[in-house]
Amino acid sequence: MRTTTLGSDGPDVGVIGLGCMGMTFSYDMETPRDEATSISVIHRALDLGMTLIDTADAYGPYTNEELVGRVLVGGHRERAVLATKVGLLTDSIDVADPGGSSPSGGRDGRPEHVRKSIDGSLRRLGTDHVDLYQLHRVDPKVPLEETWGAMAETVAAGKARHIGLSEVTVAEIRRAQAVHPVASVQSELSLWTRNALDGVLPYCREQGLAFLPFAPLGRGFLTGRFASPEDLPRDDFRRGLPRFQQEALRINLSIVEQVRGVADRAGATPAQVALAWVLAQGRHVVPIPGTKTPRYLADNAGAADIELSAAELAELDALPAPYGARY
């Protein structure tokens, strides 16, 4: 896979990474977990050059880092650019508000929490450093400068090579930059969630920060797999999201139909078109599609070779906004 640099002085990574969240958390919770397949998916991702492996202490909590740790033993650690996150408390997240937008809900940005959490993450991941340590969410109760100062300590201590932010505003990136360099920003970006295009993504380009789109497949919707809430397992987290309600899905399917039209003409799959559009937003953009399915992994890797024409990009740019809020 072709590569790009993670931020201005980060490591080289494949232009498409792998999000591991769904392997233990959030999606398909009632399906028995097939750990062996998840492990083979991560190994295959590394073989394919999808080297940025994204996890978080909140996924599970902890089970996702433990899984990734089990994968990376035996000489695989050096092949991965390992990214994890701190600052989101899954246990206290209200499922009705999974974005954690309630005033204090589900966030902990206290410096002591960061200092303690990095050691837990390293233990579970079975490594002495992560390549990218990301602040999952800014805690409104703690000045960002204090949280970011503790994140910077993890770099000084050799426990993290680089530090990044997630779901932040440009003003918040600037505040963090005044304390310590920001390597990356992870935020949702896909054909049906484009807010980052108006500010954060161009700011990252201008400043030499990597932009890591999460949920680049619209949590799977843009692949055309989900036409009704019944297509999702009963306790799947997406069942609670506004865009996945019956009426919203019915309306939003017109987006998928148009993506499928572009895909058919390009000789690609809808997932590949969704990823190719994200990749077209800049060389600093490294999407981290999530999958625990070997077939989907190969499909997603193929997106790196798809070059959409100007007309196809314009058609995708003109897609209607989705019905329903993100959370």
Residue 163 or 311: which CB sits closer to ligand NAP?
163
Q: Which stretch binds ligand NAP (CB under 6 A): 172-180, 260-268, 276-284, 287-295?
A: 287-295
**x/- binding map, residues 229-258, to ligand NAP, per CB under 6 A?**
------------------------------
| Sign of the torsion angle spanned by Cα atoms 52, 290, 164, 211 | positive
Spatial CA neighbour of 25 closest among 61, 72, 66? 61
Smallest separation, CB 190 to ligand NAP (Å): 6
Q: Which of residues 48-87 bind ligand NAP (CB under 6 A)?
A: 54
The one-letter amino acid at 154: T
Nearer to ligand NAP, 215 or 308 (CB): 215
Please report whether residue 107 would count as binding ligand NAP according to CB under 6 A.
Answer: no
Among 142, 217, 248, 255, binds ligand NAP (CB under 6 A): 217
Measured distance CA(289)–CA(218) in Å, rounded: 9
Query: How far is 289 from 287, CA to CA, in rounded Å?
Result: 6
Which x/- pattern, by CB under 6 A, does the window 177-216 give for ligand NAP? ---------x---------------------------xxx
Does residue 203 carry a catalytic annotation? no
Report in angstroms how near the CB of residue 95 gets to ligand NAP at its nearest: 14
Q: How many residues bind ligand NAP (CB under 6 A)?
A: 29
Q: Is 148 a residue that touches ligand NAP (CB under 6 A)?
A: no
Q: Is residue 38 a contact point for ligand NAP (CB under 6 A)? A: no
Q: What is d(CA 42, CA 120) in angstroms, rounded to the nearest whole number?
A: 21
Q: Which residues of 153-186 are buried (b: 16+ CB within 10 A; e: fewer)?
A: bbbeeebbbbbbbbbbeeebbebbeeebbbbbbb
| Nearest Cα to Cα of residue 210 among 49, 69, 3, 56 | 3
Longest dimension (CA), the chain: 53
Nearer to ligand NAP, 271 or 310 (CB): 271
Residue from 289, 301, 304, 308 in contact with ligand NAP (CB under 6 A): 289
Residue 155, Ramachandran bin (φ over 0: left; ψ between -120 and 50: alpha; else beta): alpha
C-alpha distances (whole Å) from 169 to each of 10, 163, 234 are 22, 16, 34
Q: Please name the residue that has the structure tokens 């919203």.
A: 248
Give the length of the chain.
Answer: 327
Binding flag, residue 17, ligand NAP (CB under 6 A): no
Q: What residues line the site for ligand NAP (CB under 6 A)? A: 19-22, 27, 54, 136, 166-167, 186, 214-220, 223, 225, 271, 288-293, 296, 299-300
Task: Indicate which residues carry an active-site annotation.
Answer: 59
